[in-house]
């Protein structure tokens, strides 16, 4: 039996009234593999612990199979949790660690058949008589997973189970977890800060920041149609290129996006999404371009929807199967403050206005703050200062392009580029996506 999990407007606060989870609503279907993704401290583990019953819910409701379960004890929720630090009993063998919860649930039954079956499934039959100190990190994690699987729970709750392992073992166990959970068909909620794990494991990915749900959808959707600049920047390797842009929409000329020394001319006739950008005339925006949206080619080789740009090679990263080229296009990178922070920095407010303003004005300001609390606003970069010998070198270039290793490039080379406007993102100054239009999402499953 698997389980449906629903969180309705759930909030959690700790000391001094700081909310670590804020009005979270999320439905998890029976048998679904959902990944909670976000930076450290964003509240994803707290959400997992509230589902397990290890943390109380301050506001909102938790439903398990449609039944209100806020006050249901953890022992009655029929869930198994896999922890980041394995949480094995050091004086018990692997066999005893796996069988311990079975002996507690059914004292009179022999747990050996279920332990042996679980060990065969995980390939750990030969380490059942060893103690945790005699096991490697990967073997300990398999034992911890075996303890959860042997119970035949209605849901698995996994709290960054692979973060303490090396990269090679992490990739191997990631595939094992995916195979096992799909074979068992059990609802799984998996917490991680690693976007590679999230994209490869989850049926859906829920992105959190500051305890606020930013976006939930399939891995393909959150990558191809990020709701805001935080989701766009947090998902994808290398990170999406974020540039400061200015919309130019003259009545008697072609519409374009100025990037400083160069501009992207929008081809006519304008698409519906590009037509909607006219309302941003004269406004500064954030332009997002993933590394695969730009290719090295001459303007004469442009395909429909591609526009030319030029870049100066500043840095090359050889990855074996590909090369990441850092170009200087004369653009200004968009500085989104505290992009990696778990919680946005509170905006500065005019205290005198707050004290003298009406109740309606204060409520309106609070509503705006809550609506945009998940995304940091675009700030103007500080005035340049004279470089000092001790200053950290800035990241080279303002545009990273992915290319094949057979293209020979050198530092300082001027290179023609083509930008595919079908993969162009435009965000407003608060980081919300305005192109493609949020109200007209294409069907990515076709």
Pick the most confident of 181-185, 289-293, 355-359: 289-293
- Of 145-154, 172-181, 291-300, 333-342, the range with the lowest mean pLDDT is 333-342
Query: In terms of C-beta density within 10 A (0-12 exposed, 13-18 middle, 19 or more buried), how is residue 101 classed?
Result: middle
pLDDT, tens digit (0-9, with 9 covering 90-100), for 207-258: 999 899 999 999 999 999 999 999 999 998 889 999 999 999 888 788 899 9
Are 246 and 222 in a shared domain?
no
- Residue 73 CA to its chain's centroid (Å): 31
| Number of domains composing the chain | 2
Are 254 and 146 in a shared domain?
no
Are 257 and 171 in a shared domain?
no
Are 192 and 267 in a shared domain?
no
Within a domain: residue 316? yes
Please confirm whether the linkage preceding 57 is cis (ω < 30° from 0): no
Q: Which residue has the tokens 């290179």?
A: 415
Are 224 and 246 in a shared domain?
no
Within a domain: residue 335? yes
Pick the most confident of 80-94, 174-188, 297-311: 297-311
Q: Which of 233, 258, 282 is the last residue of a domain?
A: 233
CA distances in angstroms from 425 to 80, 304, 420, 438, listed in the order given: 41, 18, 11, 11
Within a domain: residue 364? no
Taking phi over 0 as left and psi of -120 to 50 as alpha, with beta for the rest, 185 belongs to: left
Within a domain: residue 360? no
pLDDT value at residue 345: 57
Within a domain: residue 378? no
Are 317 and 423 in a shared domain?
yes
Within a domain: residue 292? yes
Are 192 and 326 in a shared domain?
no
CATH code assigned at 90 = 3.40.50.300
Q: Which of 189, 215, 233 is the last residue of a domain?
A: 233
Pick the most confident of 237-251, 351-365, 380-394: 237-251
Are 275 and 324 in a shared domain?
yes
Q: What is the mean pLDDT of residues 77-104?
A: 90
The three-state secondary structure class of 255 is coil
Q: What is the mean pLDDT of residues 91-110?
A: 90
Q: In sequence order, what DSSP letters do the residues of 395-430 get, joined into one string?
A: PS-SEEEEE-TTS---TT-EEEEEEEGGGEEEE-TT
The three-state secondary structure class of 32 is coil
Are 321 and 339 in a shared domain?
yes
Domain of residue 403, residue span = 242-343+396-446
pLDDT value at residue 167: 78
Percent of the chain at pLDDT exceeding 70: 85
| Residue 360 banded pLDDT, cuts 50, 70, 90 | low
Mean pLDDT (the chain) is: 84
CATH code assigned at 248 = 2.40.50.140
Q: Which of 183, 214, 233 is the last residue of a domain?
A: 233
Q: Which residue has the tokens 């303890």?
A: 147
Are 299 and 435 in a shared domain?
yes
Within a domain: residue 307? yes
Q: Which residue has the tokens 């609802």?
A: 187
Within a domain: residue 391? no
Are 288 and 183 in a shared domain?
no
Are 139 and 247 in a shared domain?
no
Q: Buried b vs exposed e over 313-329: b needs ≥16 C-beta within 10 Å?
A: bbeeeeeeeebbbbbbb
- Of 118-127, 180-189, 352-361, the range with the lowest mean pLDDT is 352-361
């Amino acid at each position: 039996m698997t389980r449906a999990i629903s969180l309705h407007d759930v909030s959690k606060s700790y000391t001094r009234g700081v909310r670590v989870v804020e009005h979270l609503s999320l439905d998890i279907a029976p048998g679904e593999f959902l990944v909670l993704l976000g930076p450290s401290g964003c509240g994803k583990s707290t959400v997992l612990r509230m589902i397990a019953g290890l943390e109380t819910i301050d506001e909102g409701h938790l439903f398990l199979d449609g039944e209100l379960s806020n006050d249901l004890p953890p022992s009655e929720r029929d869930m198994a949790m896999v922890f980041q630090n394995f949480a094995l009993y050091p004086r018990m063998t692997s066999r005893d660690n796996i069988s311990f919860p079975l002996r507690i649930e059914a004292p009179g039954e022999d747990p050996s058949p279920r332990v042996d079956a679980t060990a065969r499934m995980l390939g750990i039959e030969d380490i059942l008589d060893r103690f945790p100190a005699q096991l490697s990190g990967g073997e300990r994690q398999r034992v911890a997973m075996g303890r959860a699987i042997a119970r035949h729970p209605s849901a698995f709750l996994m709290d960054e189970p692979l973060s303490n392992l090396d990269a090679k073992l992490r990739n191997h166990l990631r595939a094992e977890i995916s195979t096992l959970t799909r074979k068992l068909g059990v609802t799984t909620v998996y917490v991680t800060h690693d976007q590679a794990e999230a994209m490869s494991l989850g049926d859906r990915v829920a992105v959190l920041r500051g305890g606020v749900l930013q976006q939930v959808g399939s891995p393909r959707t959150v990558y191809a149609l990020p709701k805001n600049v935080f989701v766009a920047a947090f998902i994808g390797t290398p990170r999406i290129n974020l540039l400061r842009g200015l919309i130019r929409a003259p009545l008697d000329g072609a519409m374009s996006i100025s990037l400083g020394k160069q501009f992207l001319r929008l081809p006519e006739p304008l698409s519906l999404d590009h037509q909607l950008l006219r309302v941003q005339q004269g406004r500064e925006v954030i332009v997002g371009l993933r590394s695969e949206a730009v290719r090295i080619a001459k303007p004469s080789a442009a395909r429909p929807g591609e526009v030319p740009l030029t870049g100066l090679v500043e840095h090359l990263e050889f990855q074996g199967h590909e090369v990441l080229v850092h170009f200087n296009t004369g653009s200004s990178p968009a500085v989104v403050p505290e992009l990696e922070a778990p919680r946005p920095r509170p905006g500065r407010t005019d205290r005198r206005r707050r004290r003298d303003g009406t109740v309606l004005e204060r409520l309106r300001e609070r509503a705006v703050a809550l609506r945009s609390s998940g995304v940091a606003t675009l700030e103007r970069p500080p005035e340049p200062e004279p470089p000092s010998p001790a200053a950290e070198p800035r990241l080279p270039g303002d545009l990273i392009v992915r290319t094949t290793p057979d293209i020979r490039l050198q530092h300082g080379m001027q290179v023609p580029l083509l930008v595919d406007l079908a993969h162009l993102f435009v965000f407003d100054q608060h980081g919300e996506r305005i192109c493609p239009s949020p109200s007209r999402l294409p069907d990515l499953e076709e």
